[in-house]
Amino acid sequence: MNGYSFELITGPMGCGKTEELLRRIRRCVIAKKKIKVFSPVVDTRTHGDYIESRNGLWADAIKVEHSIQILQKVKPDDEVVAIDELQFFDNNIVKVISTLMNEGKKVIGTGLELDFKSEPFGSMPELMCIATTVDKLHAVCMKCGCEHATRTQRLIDGKPADKSSPLIMIGGDETYEARCVKCYELPDKNAGKNKPHCNLKILNFARR
């Protein structure tokens, strides 16, 4: 429950990041800590001023468009700052969290470490470096059922989305599911026949 810390919870979609954040928020509330919860406006999954886990838990949250607004809204007597969906914030989020840590706050955050292309998402690499603890949660693979899913598969009309698909789709017909490295797919319609498929699939790197 000490300050001067940044606990980062990461993993693919559906691994329970927000559920874990809400569990930690609840413990801070029980300990009577002054806490503020933030989430980016880009997250269209929820429409009101709250964050919600897939298993139906929720907490009031302040929606912000720019990371700098978090510093404006955190007051000196706030002890804990919780931030959901860190991957959607602008690059200033790294400085914002560093500032909060230096002010003695306890920061708890969640974020997708990899986007649908299996590439580092937003400022997550830097955030993982400055975090005092990192918890990588795994999900159940929706294809083979193993419990080690670390990738987020985007599906459009039920088929794996192409590499040229935009990073953030708002209001689209796409769905997402957690998959393990073995089951994750990233078609590339622009790839030449002789060019090796290049993404973070470790097995492919090993074979080149």
**Is 85 noted as a catalytic residue in this protein?**
yes
Q: How far is CA 53 from the centre of its chain?
A: 13
Give the whole-angstrom CA distance, residue 49 versus residue 126.
27
Binding mask 144-173 for Zn ion (x = CB under 5 A): x-----------------------------
Q: How far is the CB of 88 from Zn ion (least distance, A)?
A: 26
Question: Could you say which of 141, 161, 178, 186 contacts Zn ion (CB under 5 A)?
Answer: 141
Pick the closest to residue 21 from 84, 72, 89, 102 (CA basis).
84
Please, are residues 15 and 110 in contact by the beta-carbon 8 Å criterion?
A: no
**Which is catalytic among the residues 85, 147, 177, 185?**
85
How wide is the angle at C-alpha 200 spanned by C-alphas 194 and 205, nearest 5°?
55
Comparison of 63 and 143: residue with beta carbon closer to Zn ion = 143
Query: Binding of Zn ion at residue 64 (CB under 5 A)?
Result: no
8 Å CB contact between 169 and 43: no
> Site residues for Zn ion, window 170-189 (CB under 5 A)?
180, 183
- Name the DSSP letter for residue 49: S
**Span of 19-27, 140-148, 164-172, 187-195 interacting with Zn ion by CB under 5 A:** 140-148
Give the number of residues in contact with Zn ion, rule: CB under 5 A. Answer: 5
Residue 137 contacts residue 24 (beta carbons within 8 Å): no
Q: Which residues bind Zn ion (CB under 5 A)?
A: 141, 143-144, 180, 183
Catalytic center residues: 85
